[in-house]
């Protein structure tokens, strides 16, 4: 029967090197000659040595594990980001322990405590209940994505530009009045930039506009009820105008589109709709929805790059403290489909 665990002693015996040399091979291979490195490598193969990462971790502190805390995986945007983060394994070699926080700060703190107990090398936060000042106090590399990020490094979409792009497309599509619907967001949240970009574009170009900041609810039924009410109000208020609506995301844009489409059997010329994210629902809707696309794979890659930079800095003998957090901003992409007139004419 094959011996179940090959030890350093076995490798030493097989190669004739000391156990110290074998240990150096694993923890500081460059301290051995190339010839000796390859002798040991051959021995590992001959002995069918199974690497024990955990033992290695205790020796050099590199777990190669990154913790990820997301609010949920129901919203397609989060599962998209997570998918792209996990795909960076090929490039960066980091593994991911994933938690969902479910919008509960105490649950999220418990998750983070668990992650710290596993000596994670860094933390990527999509959940937004824990302030960045607290995240900074954990004293490990942190990158946040699309949430409040004052005290830590972050990757966000250029939401301001997204707001400008959306408003500009609605105007070019011939709308008389353009409306932006969003949550009543704090100015510290990156998505607030959309409201600002939309408003400032309209004000500087003298375009009739309206910003409706309201909670659209937490599930499909609530979303549907509130967007139906919103639609009825728009119908009553602007019976003779072409109305362009910029919704906070594609899920909500799809609900509005369905309400109008069921009413008319099509999307009438009177209405234009634009969403945000470019999530699959925007393509799979009754007609393809124009949207502001977040470059999710670029965001995931940038987040890992920023995290690995911090991790590597810490490994240096004399780490340079990064005093100012780095905030990377990714340009969104305007995707012109059939719910805006320019897309319909095509």
One residue of 65, 298, 326, 333 binding its own copies per CB under 8 A:
65
| Least distance from its own copies to the Cβ atom of residue 266, Å | 7
Residue 60 contacts its own copies per CB under 8 A: no
Q: Which of residues 182-211 bind its own copies (CB under 8 A)?
A: none
Instruction: List phi, psi (to 5°) of 277.
Output: 115, -35
Q: Which is nearer to its own copies, 160 or 231 (CB)?
A: 231
- Residue 332 is classified by DSSP as -
Q: Which is nearer to its own copies, 50 or 346 (CB)?
A: 50
- Determine the interface stretch with its own copies among 17-25, 40-48, 172-180, 254-262 (rule: CB under 8 A): 254-262
Distance between the two ends of the chain, CA-based, in angstroms? 71
Query: Pick from 343, 326, 340: which is nearest to 155 by CA?
Result: 326
- The contact pattern for its own copies, residues 257-296, with x = CB under 8 A and - = no contact, is -x--xx--xx-------------xx-xxxxx---------
CA atoms within 13 A on the CB side of 197: 21
Residue 237 contacts its own copies per CB under 8 A: no
- Distances 286 to 224, 281, 338 between C-alpha atoms, Å: 16, 10, 10
| Least distance from its own copies to the Cβ atom of residue 314, Å | 14
d(CA 268, CA 271): 6
- Determine the interface stretch with its own copies among 26-34, 56-64, 294-302, 306-314 (rule: CB under 8 A): 56-64
Residue 114 contacts its own copies per CB under 8 A: yes
Residue 119 contacts its own copies per CB under 8 A: yes
Q: Which is nearer to its own copies, 38 or 52 (CB)?
A: 52
Helix 250-264 and helix 220-237, axial crossing angle in degrees, nearest 10: 60
d(CA 334, CA 121): 36
Residue 47 contacts its own copies per CB under 8 A: no
Q: Which is nearer to its own copies, 116 or 298 (CB)?
A: 116
d(CA 272, CA 244): 5
Residue 80 contacts its own copies per CB under 8 A: yes
Contact 313, 320 (CB under 8 A): yes
One residue of 73, 213, 228, 322 binding its own copies per CB under 8 A:
73
Query: Pick from 337, 233, 224: which is nearest to 286 by CA?
Result: 337
Q: Which is nearer to its own copies, 138 or 151 (CB)?
A: 138
Q: Which is nearer to its own copies, 39 or 62 (CB)?
A: 62
Query: Pick from 307, 300, 276, 301: which is nearest to 289 by CA?
Result: 276
Residue 116 contacts its own copies per CB under 8 A: yes
**Cα dihedral 75/326/116/7 (nearest 10):** 110
d(CA 329, CA 80): 18
Residues forming contacts to its own copies in the complex (CB under 8 A) are: 50-55, 57-58, 63, 65, 72-74, 76, 79-80, 82-83, 86-87, 89, 95-100, 102, 111, 114, 116-119, 220, 251, 254-255, 258, 261-262, 265-266, 280-281, 283-287
């Amino acid at each position: 029967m094959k011996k179940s665990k090959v030890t350093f002693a076995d490798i030493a015996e097989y190669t004739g090197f000391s156990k110290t040399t074998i240990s150096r091979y694993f923890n500081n291979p460059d301290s051995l000659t190339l010839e000796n490195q390859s002798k040991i490598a051959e021995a590992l193969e001959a002995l069918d040595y199974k690497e024990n990462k955990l033992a290695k971790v205790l020796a050099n502190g590199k777990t190669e594990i990154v913790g990820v805390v997301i609010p949920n995986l129901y919203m397609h945007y989060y599962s998209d980001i997570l998918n792209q983060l996990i795909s960076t394994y090929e490039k960066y070699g980091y593994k991911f322990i994933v938690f969902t926080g479910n919008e509960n700060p105490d649950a999220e703190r418990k998750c983070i405590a668990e992650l710290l107990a596993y000596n994670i090398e860094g933390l990527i936060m999509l959940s937004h209940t824990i302030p960045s000042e607290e995240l900074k106090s954990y004293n490990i590399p942190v990158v946040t994505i699309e949430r409040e990020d004052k005290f830590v490094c972050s990757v966000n979409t250029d939401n301001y530009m997204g707001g400008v792009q959306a408003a500009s497309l609605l105007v070019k599509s011939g709308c008389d009045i353009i409306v932006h619907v969003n949550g009543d967001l704090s100015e510290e949240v990156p998505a607030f930039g959309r409201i600002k970009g939309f408003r400032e574009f309209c004000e500087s170009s003298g375009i009739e506009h309206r910003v409706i900041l309201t909670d659209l609810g937490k599930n499909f039924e609530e979303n549907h009820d509130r967007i139906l009410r919103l639609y009825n109000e728009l119908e009553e208020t602007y019976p003779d105008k072409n109305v362009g609506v910029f919704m906070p995301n594609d899920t909500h844009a799809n609900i509005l589109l369905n309400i109008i489409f069921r009413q008319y059997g099509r999307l009438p010329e009177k209405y234009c709709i634009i969403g945000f994210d470019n999530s699959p629902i925007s393509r799979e809707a009754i007609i393809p929805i124009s949207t502001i696309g977040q470059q999710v794979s670029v965001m995931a890659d940038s987040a890992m790059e920023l995290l690995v930079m911090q991790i590597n800095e810490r490994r240096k003998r004399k780490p340079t403290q990064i005093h100012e957090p780095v905030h990377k901003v990714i340009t969104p992409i305007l995707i012109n489909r059939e719910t805006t007139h320019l897309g319909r004419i095509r």
